[in-house]
A and B are shown apart, each in its own frame.
Chain A
Amino acid sequence: MVKMSTVSTKELIHAYVQLSGKLRENFNELRSQAKETLDNCPFPTKKDEEWRFTDLKSITSNKFESVDTSVAQANLELDEFHLPEAMNSRLVFIDGNFSPSHSAIEGMPDGVIVGNISDFAEHEQLLSHLGTITNYEDDVFVPLNDVNFQDGTFIYVPKETVIEQPIHILNVFTHRNNPHFVTPRVLFVGEMFSKATIIEEHIGLSDNVYLNVPVNEFRLYSGAHVHHARIQRDSKNASHISRPVAMLDAHAEYHSYTICLGSKLFRNEPRVIQNAEEVDFTVDGLVLIDGEQIADTHSIMDHRFSHGNSHQLHKVVVNDQAHSIFNGKIFVAKDAQKIDSFQENRNLLISDSGKVNTKPQLEIFADDVRCSHGATIGQLQDEEVFYLQSRGLTEQKSRELLVYAFALESVESMAVKSVEELLLKEVIAYTNRD
């Protein structure tokens, strides 16, 4: 359906749309609006305040082509990535294409939809929600996803319905010789008092170059409850630019945990919008990077109404020449009283050539609120290392153990046992790399 197109990255998006000649045939309004944005919006550079610390070289120095959507690799062996808790609630996308043979959706409660977006293109709930809350300013990446996505995840949970098993969204990237870009999409609609757990994974099977631009939309109506874990294990040469947005109505709860392990460049811009009174949300993150990795999180906790609780713990370990960037914004609108918001960014810089930039940011327009943030950049305490050594551990082991302990806090919040175990292994692999 779509021609292969090679584009110079700076005009990556423009060229893509132009070369392909026409837009994809469904969601016409969304796509043509997105195309218009792409035509007018320049690619970000370090001169933009929001991008000033982020080196985009790994995108701009490559030519990415779009992936032919008609071929899915049915014979790929992916069993090792399956979660035992989600054997019957799994959606698999290979290089962005939905793979029915790898996926398994069975035994869902009545009325629940878990499936491929393109199979539900005419669904009323999908049409009325798609693209409604992803309004990023001066942004090219959501529009890129908008014009390009074909397959994706659509989850609809009806009123007062609880999905017991976690839903596993597995994005796998195979080895391809040419750099390519992929635009995974997730649309989640949770009706009143529904409940679900989502595990979203991005796994690079090789070390090839690609650009992964996922967009997530989570619309939670009154009393809906979602636990959302995002695990990024992209190829070490990939670039991952993601935009997860959640909008919450009264008494909704949304708890998200983003774990960044892979990719050369990671830029995550989570946003949670409080759309009514009385909500509760978490935007936690754990970043473990080394080599020449760059991990950048720009989050927004947007309190537009009264009585909201929000919490953010963003933990980072930086080794080698890696570079971590954090900008966490807490907005409290005028008259959004009684907000209790807390943000914490802890950076552990364990190499002399690593670099950390952090900018916690408060913008408060209501007086009766409690908002605070803390940011630290530091190292392991000599006393702590000494204490462990005095118990008979080598210095190396002591340090590994302390880094492990530092990362543990974020991992323990995972609601799914096998994910927690998987992450513990990843943490150990990161700390004991020698």
Chain B
Amino acid sequence: MSEETKALESMIGEEYKYGFTTDVEYEDFPKGISEDIIRELSSRKEEPEWMLEFRLKSYRAWLEMEEPEWFNATYTKPDFENLLYYSAPKKRPSLDSLDDVDPNIRETYEKLGIPLEEQKMLAGVAVDAVFDSVSVFTSFKEKLAEAGVIFCSISEAIKEHPDLVKKYMGSVIPARDNFYAALNSAVFSDGSFCYIPKNTACPMELSTYFRINNMESGQFERTLIIAEEGASVSYLEGCTAPMYDENQLHAAVVELIALDHADIKYSTIQNWYSGDENGKGGIYNFVTKRGICKGNHSKISWTQLETGSAVTLKYPSVILQGDHSIGEFYSVAVTTKKQQADTGTKMIHLGKNTRSTIISKGISAGESNNSYRGEVKIGKKATGSKNYSVCDSMLIGQSCGAHTFPYISSENASSSVEHEATTSRVGEEQIFYLMQRGISEQDAISMIINGFVKDVLKELPLEFAVEANKLLDIKLEGSVG
């Protein structure tokens, strides 16, 4: 193993030592969960009565539910009584210059090709005058307002746009949907709210916005995106840079609503702390993501690059309700060390002539387990619908596992479903071929892997696609060959 790899591995493996100290701001808030806690939480957030009702109803539903165990992963269940359900925005460490940043982290940033000024932002260095983030941020805000796009935190939306929130929150993922969605509905901390008005193309990719104003929303994030008739938006959450968080459980809920002719593209890059070599520590990423193509000719597309977290359970889904609506799911899930990922999608075809595409690429290395679990369901009335799914797995090393659990069903005679899956490894012949062209083994492997995931990464917003490739290289460095 090269020095470089060692450094990187220790960086990824080690507990994060810099910054993110315990926050004094919420020390007075008690741990555990109860109706009183939820009331307290809601009142601190100055929420209206109906929001509190929503939370309490969800909490009562949650109490009756059992923690699911059906997925292909084993882990210690979180102790819900020992969690803190209120967190104020995090205090970032304040450093004077990039030289103060952990050199390993800087190395990663450089490898990812993150611009210098952004590196400072991410590392929490005070930004100098040349790169005035505030002014850029403000100009973005103006641009969005001009177009009539509402983009704010969900807490703000609850106060400023109660009608929209009331109408749509919980309409795609009801509180009773599943155990973690119910918990989130009861105690969600914050998140994003996005409303694109009729016939408006969001003037900028909301991903760009995050590059500048990297929002943090705590462990129970709640996102709601509404695209009105003819509207379109591209949204990116997450970041290629490794993310550390002291909260072990992350149970987010993301709801997307697309009306007639609307188009929502939602991309995720997830690189949370994945635990050490022995599988100790690491984040549990239990997310419920679902979009509904409510209107005719609407389209929802999920793209995800999952590389972090100790345990990932995540199934971004699309309900294709409107006629001629389109659902897409592009995913790359990489697991190394003792990571466990059980991820996939659901495409529920209800409207006529609906189309869905699923492209899922799983790469398992080390002692990890990577599962694709998906459902394609074509209802009786969804005549003329089509689905095409491909899920390919690649195994690297002899101690990992790859699994596919696709559920496919059709109930009418004019629809068609095609599913194919393969499991393979980086072929010796492929490596040999590239090496005899003068390419080093490591580069050859990296090229082959990049080729394997190309179909998915090309769906990412351009500026992230390059980083994503590099992230994969870093993640898998040393595990092949």
B139 at the interface (CB under 8 A from A): no
The answer, yes or no, to whether B422 is at the interface (CB within 8 Å) is yes
Residues facing A in B347-393 (CB within 8 A) are 378, 380, 393
What CA separation (Å) do A49 and B71 show in the bound complex? 12
Instruction: Tell me if A362 counts as interface (CB < 8 A to partner B).
Output: yes
- A139 lies within 8 A of chain B by Cβ: no
Please classify the interface of chain A as helix (H, G, I), strand (E, B), loop, or mixed, using the class held by over half of its residues: strand
For the complex, give the distance between the alpha carbons of A334 and B423 in Å: 14
Of the listed stretches B239-247, B259-267, B402-410, chain A binds B402-410
| A106 within 8 Å of B (CB atoms) | no
The residue on A at minimum CB distance from B378 is: A377
B395 within 8 A of A: yes
Which residues 367-387 in A have Cβ within 8 Å of B in the complex? 367-379
- How near does chain A come to B369, taking the closest CB pair, in angstroms? 9
Asked whether A355 and B413 contact (CB < 8 A) given A335-B398, A367-B397, A367-B400, the answer is no
- Pair A362/B410 contact, Cβ less than 8 Å: no
- Tell me if B161 counts as interface (CB < 8 A to partner A): no
Which of the segments A242-250, A291-299, A345-353 contacts the partner chain? A345-353
Indicate with 1 or 0, residue by residue over A326-370, a CB within 8 angstroms of chain B CB atoms: 000000001100000000000101111111111111111111111
Bound-state CA distance A370–B405 (Å) is 17
Q: How far is the CB of A369 from chain B (nearest CB, A)?
A: 6
Closest chain A residue to B421 by CB distance? A373
Q: Please measure, in the bound complex, the distance between the C-alpha atom of A335 and the C-alpha atom of B397, giving whole angstroms.
A: 10
Name the interface size band of chain A: 35 or more
Contacts A334-B399, A375-B406, A377-B408 given: A362-B414 contact, CB under 8 Å?
A: no
Closest to B428 in A: A368
Is there an interface contact between B416 and A355, defined as CB atoms closer than 8 Å? no
Is B10's beta carbon under 8 Å from chain A?
A: no
Query: For B380, B393, B400, B408, which residue has the most chain A Cβ atoms within 10 angstroms?
Result: B408
Q: Which chain A positions have C-beta within 8 A of B400?
A: 365, 367
Please, which residues of chain A bring their CB within 8 A of the CB of B414? 352, 379
Residues from chain B with a CB closer than 8 A to the CB of A360 are 404, 406, 419, 421
For B36, list chain A residues within 8 Å (CB): none
What chain A residues lie within 8 Å of B31 (beta carbons)? none
- By a CB distance below 8 angstroms, the chain B residues around A358 are 408-409, 419
Q: Please name all residues of chain B whose beta carbon is closer than 8 Å to the beta carbon of A49 when the two chains form the complex.
A: 70
Are A372 and B419 closer than 8 Å at their CB atoms? no
Chain A's closest residue to B386 (CB) is A378
Q: Which residues in B have their C-beta under 8 angstroms from that of A53?
A: 409
- Asked if B81 is an interface residue, CB under 8 A from chain A, the answer is no
Does the CB pair A361–B405 fall under 8 Å?
A: yes
With both beta carbons as reference points, the residue of chain B lying nearest to A49 in the complex is identified as B70
Tally of B interface residues using CB under 8 Å = 35
Q: Assess whether B408 is in contact with A367, with CB atoms less than 8 Å apart.
A: no
CB distance from A62 to the nearest CB of B (A): 27
Contact B405 A364 (CB under 8 A): no
Residues A377 and B423 in contact, CB atoms below 8 Å apart: no
Is the beta-carbon distance between B411 and A363 smaller than 8 angstroms? Answer: no
- B418: A residues at CB distance < 8 A: 374-376, 378
B304 interface contact, C-beta 8 A: no
Whether A364 contacts B393 in the complex (CB less than 8 A), given A375-B406, A376-B418, A377-B410, comes out as yes
Per-position binary interface string of chain B over residues 413-440, scored 1 when its CB falls under 8 Å from any chain A CB and 0 otherwise? 1111111111111000000000000000
Please state if B70 and A377 are interface contacts (CB–CB under 8 Å): no
Are A371 and B423 in contact, with the CB atoms below 8 A? Answer: yes
In the bound complex, CA of A349 to CA of B410 (Å): 8
Q: Kindly supply a per-residue 1/0 record for chain A positions 279-314, scoring 1 wherever the CB is within 8 Å of any chain B CB and 0 otherwise.
A: 000000000000000000000000000000000000
CB pair A379 B423 closer than 8 Å: no
CA–CA, A351 and B411, complex, Å = 9
- Tell me whether B238 is interfacial, beta carbon within 8 Å: no
Closest to B402 in A: A364
Across-interface contacts of A378 in B (CB, < 8 A): 415-418
* CB-defined contacts of A354 to chain B, threshold 8 Å: 411, 413
Asked if A375 and B417 sit within 8 Å, CB to CB, the answer is yes
Instruction: Report Cα–Cα, A347/B397, bound state, in Å.
Output: 36
CA of A427 to CA of B16 in the docked complex: distance in angstroms?
67
Nearest-neighbour CB distance to chain B for A251, whole angstroms, equals 25
Residue in A closest to B410 when the chains form the complex, CB atoms: A377
A297 to B397, CA, bound (A): 33
Q: Does residue B191 face the partner (Cβ distance < 8 Å to A)?
A: no
Query: Does chain A have a CB within 8 A of B43?
Result: no
Question: Do A376 and B416 touch across chains, with their CB atoms under 8 A apart?
Answer: yes
Q: Which residues of A contact B419 (CB under 8 A)?
A: 358, 360, 373-376
- Determine if A359 and B406 form an interchain contact, defined as CB atoms under 8 angstroms apart: yes
Chain B residue with the shortest CB-CB distance to A356: B410
Q: Which residues of B contact A372 (CB under 8 A)?
A: 420-423
The reply on B396 being an interface residue by CB < 8 A is yes
Specify the chain A residue showing the minimal Cβ separation from B404.
A362
Q: In the complex the two chains form, what is the Cα distance from A371 to B415 in whole Å?
A: 27
**B322 on the interface (CB 8 Å rule)?**
no
CA distance A400 to B422 in the complex (A): 33
CA distance A380 to B419 in the complex (A): 17
Chain A min CB distance to B417 (Å):
4
The verdict on A362 contacting B402 (CB below 8 Å), with A357-B409, A379-B416 known, is yes
Q: Which residue of A lies closest to B375 (CB)?
A: A359
B407: A residues at CB distance < 8 A:
357, 359
Q: Which of B138-170 contact A (CB under 8 A)?
A: none
Q: Show 16 residue pairs from A and B whose CB-CB distance is below 8 angstroms, ordered by the A residue.
A: A357-B407, A357-B408, A360-B419, A361-B403, A364-B401, A367-B398, A367-B400, A368-B425, A369-B423, A369-B424, A371-B422, A374-B421, A375-B419, A376-B416, A377-B410, A378-B417
A356-B411, A370-B422, A379-B416 known, 11 other contacts, Cβ within 8 Å = A334-B399, A347-B410, A349-B410, A349-B412, A358-B409, A360-B406, A363-B401, A363-B403, A369-B395, A376-B417, A379-B413
| Chain A residues near B (Cβ < 8 Å) | 49, 53, 334-335, 347, 349-379
